[in-house]
Amino acid sequence: MGHLDSPVATDGQILINVSATALSRVSKFRSMGMHYSSQVNFPIVAGIDGVGTMEDGSRVYFVLPTAPYGSLAEQTIVNEKLTVRLPDDIDDATAAAIANPAMSSWAALVFRAGFQSGQTVLINGATGASGSLAVQIAKGLGAKKIIVTGRNELKLQALEAEEAIAFDMTADNGQKTFEDALVPLIAEGVDVVLDYLWGDSAFAIMSVLAKTNTDRATRFVSIGTSSGQESIQLPSSILRSSTIELVGSGDKSVSKADMLTAVKGVFEMAAEGKLKIATAEFALEQIEKAWSAPLMPRPVVKVK
């Protein structure tokens, strides 16, 4: 194990007294060097974002602390441009927990899909933290209709969506059953697909979009691979014979400035009571327990 001196602010960097940080999937994987965006030399302090106070006492959300420092510590340093002031009506734990999963949905909708109020949104994988927040965000931004799909029917029914389709790709004829259920809904028109799963379910949605006679363009945004399937066999004909516009949303396709704009929008919506996330709080001394805790409710480490 290496030793790190206490962080010291330098030109362009500010010192943050950390109060809370959430353990998201991307935070843990980046800390272990297992995420596609990982660019770290060990040893490092884990944690890619959090909430804390600046030297003047202002509460801020911060992201991407300056290596080797991270957010799972009492203090860290970060580029001042990578901070967002917190509204008074949002607490530290909620801000830390909601920033990453909600920001991914907001950025995908606004900056990658060009979402407009009154459009129809299909969210594939809506029962996870990011997917369930995407439902709330799409609703808050004025979606006319929200369709949710996923593997857990009870969780889907608990979401505030107009239509819900549960699927089981491992069952006999599971893909055909899913596609048959999608046809009448997609025939009515879908403007945006937010996909958190990829794999067979994503292929099924694109197949139905291609088979359905509609002149309505559909922006299909790939955000994650929670299905565990990193690749699919996607015939060229699906894209050539449809109005699907296939794009990705993530660390390299959305600028840091747009990501922070998304975070600001998320915080404002949460402060108005339109966004909610369940949290499970841990002390910093309980980091081992927090690290292995389920991602829902979102584990939040309270540093102070």
- CA distance linking residue 152 with residue 101, whole number of Å: 19
- CA distance linking residue 179 with residue 274, whole number of Å: 32
Query: Which pTM value belongs to this model?
Result: 0.91
pLDDT of residue 181: 98
- CA distance linking residue 70 with residue 83, whole number of Å: 14
- CA distance linking residue 98 with residue 266, whole number of Å: 8
Q: Is 301 helix (H, G, I), strand (E, B) or coil?
A: strand
φ/ψ of residue 165, rounded to 5 = -130, 120
Mark out the alpha helices in 141-232 (DSSP H runs). 153-157, 174-187, 199-211
- CA distance linking residue 242 with residue 250, whole number of Å: 24
Q: Which residues pair with 76 in a beta bridge?
A: 16
- CA distance linking residue 99 with residue 263, whole number of Å: 6
pLDDT of residue 203: 97
Exposure string of 151-162, with b = 16+ CB inside 10 Å and e = fewer, is: beeebbeebebe
Convert the pLDDT of each residue in 256-281 to its tens digit. 999 999 999 999 999 999 999 999 99
Tokens of 291: 């690290």
Q: Looking at residue 59, what DSSP letter applies?
A: E
Q: 220: which residues sit within 8 A by CB, 6+ positions away?
A: 193, 195, 202, 205, 206, 209, 244, 245, 246, 247
pLDDT of residue 25: 82
Is the CA virtual torsion 192, 198, 201, 206 positive or negative? positive
**Of the candidates 158, 142, 178, which has an alpha carbon nearest to the alpha carbon of residue 274?**
142
**Of the candidates 91, 59, 54, 60, which has an alpha carbon nearest to the alpha carbon of residue 281?**
91
pLDDT of residue 251: 82
Amino acid identity of 124?
A: N
Q: Please report the beta strands in the chain, taking only residues with DSSP state E, as ranges in sequence order.
A: 13-22, 49-53, 59-63, 75-79, 83-85, 120-124, 145-150, 163-166, 192-195, 218-222, 244-248, 279-283, 298-302
Residue-level pLDDT, tens digit, the chain, 304 residues = 457 788 998 888 999 999 999 998 888 877 766 545 545 666 788 999 999 999 999 999 999 999 899 999 999 999 999 999 999 999 999 999 999 999 999 999 999 999 999 999 999 999 999 999 999 999 999 999 999 999 999 999 999 999 999 999 999 999 999 999 999 999 999 999 999 999 999 999 999 999 997 788 999 999 999 998 999 999 999 999 999 999 999 988 999 999 999 999 999 999 999 999 999 999 999 999 999 999 889 999 999 7
φ/ψ of residue 13, rounded to 5 = -110, 145
Convert the pLDDT of each residue in 82-122 to its tens digit. 999 999 999 999 999 999 999 999 999 999 999 999 999 99
Beta carbons within 10 angstroms of residue 127's beta carbon: 24
Angle formed by the axes of helices 92-107 and 256-271, nearest 10°: 120
